[in-house]
Amino acid sequence: MSETIFSKIIRKEIPAEIVYENEAVLAFKDIRPQAPVHILIIPKIDELETIKDFQKDKHTSILSSLFEAANQIAKDLSISNEGYRLVINCGANGGQEVYHLHMHLLGGRKMNWPPG
């Protein structure tokens, strides 16, 4: 897959407000927050452009790491008890802008349904 701005954030070549990091994932504040808490959680490997590239035999541990990070960050940011939303946009109709798999963690307010 081709490089995105997220690859540069992973390499710390451009700044981001990092809230969580381990060997598999990086999480940072979204630059255009849609809620009081809006974090992007991304795998460090440049292998998955979208969730539709997911293959069970190759990527199960990556998805586990994303969900594990989301739950930990929600606790760290004190939104775990009241609840939050996890979103993965896929492709043009899904509203995806950056083609490096990422999960949005949104919280700190009541979310609307259906989403726009």
Positions that interact with ligand AMP (CB under 6 A): 5, 16, 28, 30-32, 40, 89, 95-98
For the CB of residue 93, give the shortest distance to ligand AMP in the complex, in Å.
Answer: 12
Task: Verify whether residue 59 is a known catalytic residue.
Answer: no
DSSP 56-92: HHHHHHHHHHHHHHHHHHHHHTT-TTT-EEEE---HH
Q: Are strands 37-43 and 103-107 parallel, antiparallel or unpaired?
A: antiparallel
Q: Least distance (Å) from ligand AMP to the CB of residue 14?
A: 6
Catalytic residue among 38, 100, 102, 104: 102
Strand, helix or coil for residue 93: helix
Q: Which is nearer to ligand AMP, 57 or 116 (CB)?
A: 116
Q: How far is the CB of 65 from ligand AMP (least distance, A)?
A: 18
- Nearest alpha carbon to residue 29 among 99, 91, 108, 90: 108
| Cis-peptide into 114, omega within 30 deg | yes
Q: Of the two residues 27 and 74, which places its CB atom closer to ligand AMP in the complex?
A: 27
Question: Which CB sits closer to ligand AMP, 81 or 113?
Answer: 113
Catalytic residues: 102
